[in-house]
């Protein structure tokens, strides 16, 4: 259902990225109204914002007095997103100030408020800013970011505004609770098979895509359990996290949790083989010589087991990471795999030295049981996660 969304833009260098936020919301079919501060228009022009939003840009507190515009815009809003939200903006909102149209719009609205902070690291970490953020959170305000990365000039660190796709997905999830009441099991990361106490056979999965799926599902109202296998990022808040390491540990945890889930999403990269024996002490090259022979045993196929042993009505989504460069050959690998595995959907993505594993972005093709393409998505792993979850609703 189309929403009436207000996008507030304040005076920071990240204001140029707000154009992407407006554009993405419009392309999703929403009615977007931009309320910009005077400082914001020093960074991005009014004609650009009006062309992208397809609506007049509002800036002046004393325009449209007869229509009581300073409160009418906020009263009509289903959602308000402020991107970027500067340190000054956070301070004014925390104090309840309304000395411009954006402040009045927010005070006059009962719609959910989503803020995407953007500022230098020292400003973000300043005790005054942290106190303002805590105050706003306590009032139910939602935050997206900030991310850590390149800032203005040569500075780097936390304070960079989140990417437009991430802002849009997070903001829409605030008003879209379409997975409320669903119990979802997600696996993430990569399993490791120990050779000895210090070495293992593993893969390069960071767990970012699985964590993004868990966070997105929780934001949309689901009760989420995450089976985390050696994540390279912090485990998410707001979901139940169970840590595993090996494929057999993941299998045991998944088989125990899966019967209680409405949806199972197997995003973890699972080792196909494990060592037949594990050394109790560190393997020494002095005793092994120039060659070391390993005997490997095939690991169980967890996705196949869960797909075939599932309770009635459960939906199972698998992942297939492949290095095949030819697009048609990649799809054929996916079609053969979903036929073997028996899952409802298979998310196929290409991985390599510089794509897929360990990166911030992803590109996927989703196949159904018949091998037909039901969805394609690319972008940040957060935006891809939301597109995958759209299949559930």
- 10 Å CB burial of residue 160 (0-12, 13-18, 19+) is buried
Distances (CA, A) of 95 to 88, 135, 331: 11, 9, 55
* Rounded CA Rg of the chain: 24
Of the residues 132, 203, 230, 299, only one is catalytic, namely: 203
Rounded to whole angstroms, how far apart are CA atoms 142 and 360? 22
Residue 4 annotated as catalytic: no
Residues in the chain: 393
The alpha carbon of 365 is separated from its chain's Cα centroid by a whole number of angstroms, namely 17
- Residues tagged active-site: 203
């Amino acid at each position: 259902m189309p929403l009436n969304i207000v996008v507030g833009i304040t005076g920071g260098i990240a204001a140029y990225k707000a154009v992407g936020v407006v554009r993405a919301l419009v392309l999703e079919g929403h009615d977007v109204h931009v309320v910009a501060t005077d400082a914001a228009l020093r960074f991005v022009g009014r004609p650009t914002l009006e062309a992208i939003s397809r609506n007049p840009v509002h800036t002046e507190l004393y325009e449209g007095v007869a229509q009581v515009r300073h409160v009418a815009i906020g009263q009509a809003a289903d959602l308000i997103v402020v991107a970027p939200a500067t340190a000054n903006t956070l301070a004014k909102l925390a104090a309840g100030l309304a000395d411009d149209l954006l402040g009045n719009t927010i005070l006059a609205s009962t719609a959910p408020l989503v803020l995407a902070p953007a500022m230098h690291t020292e400003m973000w970490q300043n005790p005054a800013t942290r106190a303002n953020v805590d105050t706003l959170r306590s009032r139910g305000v939602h935050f997206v970011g900030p991310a850590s990365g390149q800032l203005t000039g040569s500075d780097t660190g936390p304070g960079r505004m989140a990417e437009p796709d991430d802002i849009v997905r997070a903001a829409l999830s605030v008003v879209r609770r379409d997975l409320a009441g669903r119990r979802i099991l997600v696996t993430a990361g990569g399993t490791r098979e120990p050779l000895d106490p210090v070495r293992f056979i593993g893969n390069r999965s960071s767990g970012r895509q699985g964590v993004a799926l868990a966070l997105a599902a929780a934001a949309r109202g689901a009760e989420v359990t995450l089976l985390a296998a050696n994540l390279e990022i912090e485990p998410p808040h707001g979901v139940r996290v169970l840590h595993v390491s090996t494929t057999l540990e993941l299998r045991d945890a998944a088989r125990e949790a899966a019967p209680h889930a409405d949806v199972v999403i197997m995003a973890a990269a699972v080792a196909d083989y494990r060592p037949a024996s594990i050394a109790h002490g560190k393997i020494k090259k002095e005793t092994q010589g120039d060659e070391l022979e390993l005997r490997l045993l095939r690991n169980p196929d967890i996705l196949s087991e869960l797909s075939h042993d599932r309770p009635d009505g459960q939906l199972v989504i698998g992942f297939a990471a492949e290095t095949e460069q030819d697009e048609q050959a990649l799809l054929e690998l996916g079609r053969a795999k979903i036929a073997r595995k028996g899952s409802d959907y298979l998310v196929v993505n290409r991985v390599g030295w510089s794509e897929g594993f360990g990166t911030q972005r992803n590109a996927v093709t989703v196949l159904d049981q018949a091998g037909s393409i039901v969805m394609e998505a690319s972008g940040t792993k957060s935006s891809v996660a939301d597109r995958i979850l759209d299949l559930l609703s």
